[in-house]
Amino acid sequence: MSKVGIVHDPRYLLHETGAMHPERPDRLRAIEKMLETSGVGAELKEIPARPATEAEILAVHSREHLAEIARSAEAPGVCLDADTFAGPHSYEAALLAAGGLLEAVDRVADREIDSAFALLRPPGHHAERDYAMGFCLFNNIAVAAEYLIRKHHYQKVAVMDFDVHHGNATQHMFYDRADVFYVSTHRYPFYPGTGAAEERGHSAGAGYNLNIPLAAGSGDEIYRQAFMQQVIPALREYRPDFLLVSAGFDAHRRDPLGGMALSDTGFRYIAEQLEAIAAECCGGKSVYTLEGGYDLEGLSGGVREVLNVLQQRS
């Protein structure tokens, strides 16, 4: 059985968004319950979270954005955009989310463990350089990709994003670069409006951005075709040194926001394909980070399937 790390910290629950908000603390509570009752969590290696440093955040975000999120800690509640909120503890949680992911990356890069899943919040792939967006405060996976390049000196990092929403900010942050290959399967047209197939990268990054737009209602077979025909061949051709995964579970058929039809088995298939390409191209070095997923049963079921795949990898 593979050595799989997990990042989960009770301080992630302190990011309060309101009882009726989709991105709420109950998401992580449901995952924790699944880990306890299913037995999946028994063999996972605990990875303690730490706050990301100012320099690590500023590698992808502006100083003005960092300051705005920091100021939110001084208020009882701040509306950063129409659906993105920050409370007194959100800044702390956001730093711990980015830093927790970096701790997972370090342990996989140093081969202490084979792979890892950072079960964190707030999520990140909509957070742009200069502003919060779409439930996201800091772009956790962009921070991690930049960290792998700057600290661990990797030359090619792949970011695979299977959240139902396109990761607009992750795309934008690396759009003119070849050292990060961003690949996304997502519902389109849909929020946030980006993610057309024609968006392929710019300048040195031309050809290093792959969007795979999928129609509403797409389920297991459509995703299977997308991975067989586009995702896996593209990753194989790129041959990354490290695989990062924005793992969103809002394409689950139970999800109230996604409008897609993936089953638990569909998420298992996605993880199996990604782990096979990680083993083939980068010595199995993969780290997953939680993005969306707003039905508690669908979310915990999808996470369970991914963790099962990671643990059963030979």
Give the pLDDT confidence score for residue 2 in this predicted structure. Answer: 82
pLDDT tens by residue, the chain, 314 residues: 689 999 999 999 999 998 899 999 999 999 999 999 999 999 999 999 999 999 999 999 999 999 999 999 999 999 999 999 999 999 999 999 999 999 999 999 999 999 999 999 999 999 999 999 999 999 999 999 999 999 999 999 999 999 999 999 999 999 999 999 999 999 999 999 999 999 999 999 999 999 999 999 999 999 999 999 999 999 999 999 999 999 999 999 999 999 999 999 999 999 999 999 999 999 999 999 999 999 999 999 999 999 999 999 85
Q: Tell me which residue of 294, 260, 103, 242 sits closest to 185, measured CA to CA.
A: 260
Q: Which two tokens stand for residue 224?
A: 């299977």
Beta bridge partners of 158: 181, 243
Q: Tell me which residue of 11, 31, 20 sits closest to 90, measured CA to CA.
A: 11
Which strands, in side-by-side order, build the sheet including 242-247? 45-46, 4-7, 115-118, 286-290, 242-247, 157-161, 180-187, 209-214
Return d(Cα 96, Cα 99) in angstroms, integer. 5
Reported in sequence order, the residue ranges of 10-121 that DSSP labels E, i.e. its strands, are 45-46, 78-81, 84-86, 115-118
Give the pLDDT confidence score for residue 314 in this predicted structure. Answer: 55
CB burial readout 142-151, b (16+ within 10 A) else e: bbbbbbbbee
Q: Are strands 115-118 and 286-290 parallel, antiparallel or unpaired?
A: parallel
Return d(Cα 193, Cα 251) in angstroms, integer. 17
| Boundaries of every domain in the chain | 4-312
Give the global pTM.
0.98
Return d(Cα 289, Cα 296) in angstroms, integer. 17
Return d(Cα 136, Cα 246) in angstroms, integer. 13
Residues with catalytic annotation? Answer: 126
CATH of segment(s) 4-312: 3.40.800.20
Q: Which two tokens stand for residue 289?
A: 């980070």
Helix (H, G, I), strand (E, B) or coil at 212: strand
Return d(Cα 157, Cα 256) in angstroms, integer. 32
Q: Which two tokens stand for residue 272?
A: 């199996």
User: At which residue do the structure tokens 């956790």 appear?
Assistant: 140
Return d(Cα 54, Cα 202) in angstroms, integer. 28
